Amino acid sequence: MGAFLEAVIGCPSIHARWLNTLSLLEFMGSRKIARSLSGAFCDEQRLRHLAEEARHAHFFKRAIERIPQAPVLQGYTVEQTLSRTAAALYFHGLDARVKHRLQEVCATMDDNSFTELCYLYVTTLVEERAARVYPLYDSILEKHGIPVRLQGIIGEEDRHLAAMHASLARQPDHRDELLSELRLMEEGLFARFFAALERDVARLKLAA
């Protein structure tokens, strides 16, 4: 991942698309949280999480303006992101596979409990991935003197993850072995997404 990030930040136009892709992923996350809200699950913690994910999407979009010679990217089109289709497949695939696995192992769970547990597992997996990527990216930004810092976002993501772990521990249907299984599944999905990112960056560098 480090070599990939070094390659990304070496080209302003590619770096801008990477930041826009992070913005897209945070935006996707905020939309999934919004869709999970209901009369049964609309507490302060989830509303705060929704607001913070939307703000993170805005942060990464604005961060593009701090990259010298970076293009203006108004939307989330294929031409303005990196591996947009693979990003969507990662996010939506994660959601679908968690739901499918829970349907297999928690068949007797009521709808509200099922929705809550899906939200907790998917969010935990996404936050654990962010906890690996964002600190590494931040250290590389600092090393190269790029005026974008992620400490605030990293702190919020860490708090999200701690809240998810605490909420899972209170769920009667949560199993540590199931979470371990879902982590392996997420690793496979992310590996495919990351391979697509590497191919996209290599293609763009050749075309530059």
pLDDT tens-digit readout, 69-79? 999 999 999 99
Give per-residue pLDDT as tens, 157-205: 899 899 999 989 888 877 889 999 999 999 999 999 999 999 999 999 9
Share of the chain above pLDDT 70, in %: 98
Residue 192: what pLDDT?
Answer: 98
- Model pTM score: 0.94
Q: Among 140, 134, 142, 190, which Cα is nearest to 160's? A: 134
Give per-residue pLDDT as tens, 89-108: 999 999 999 999 999 987 77
Domain assignment of residue 115, yes or no:
yes
Range of the domain at 54: 2-203
pLDDT band at 64 (very low <50, low <70, confident <90, very high): very high
Domain assignment of residue 8, yes or no:
yes
Domain assignment of residue 169, yes or no:
yes
Statement: residue 43 has pLDDT above 90: no
User: Can you tell me the mean pLDDT for 136-148?
Assistant: 96
Percent helix, percent strand, percent coil in the chain, to nearest 5: 80, 0, 20
**Total number of domains constituting the chain:** 1
Say what angle helices 176-207 and 2-9 make with each other, to 10 degrees. Answer: 40
For the chain, the three-class secondary structure string (H helix, E strand, C coil) is CHHHHHHHHCCHHHHHHHHHHHHHHHHHHHHHHHHHCCCCCCCHHHHHHHHHHHHHHHHHHHHHHHCCCCCCCCCCCHHHCCCHHHHHHHHHHHHHHHHHHHHHHCCCCCHHHHHHHHHHHHHHHHHHHHHHHHHHHHHHHHHCCCCCCCHHHHHHHHHHHHHHHHHHHCCCCCCHHHHHHHHHHHHHHHHHHHHHHHHHHHHHHHHC
pLDDT band at 41 (very low <50, low <70, confident <90, very high): low
User: Can you tell me the mean pLDDT for 120-134?
Assistant: 95
Residue 171: what pLDDT?
Answer: 86
Domain assignment of residue 134, yes or no:
yes
CA gap 179, 136 in Å, rounded:
24
Domain assignment of residue 181, yes or no:
yes
The mean pLDDT of the chain is 92
Residue 113: what pLDDT?
Answer: 83
Domain assignment of residue 208, yes or no:
no
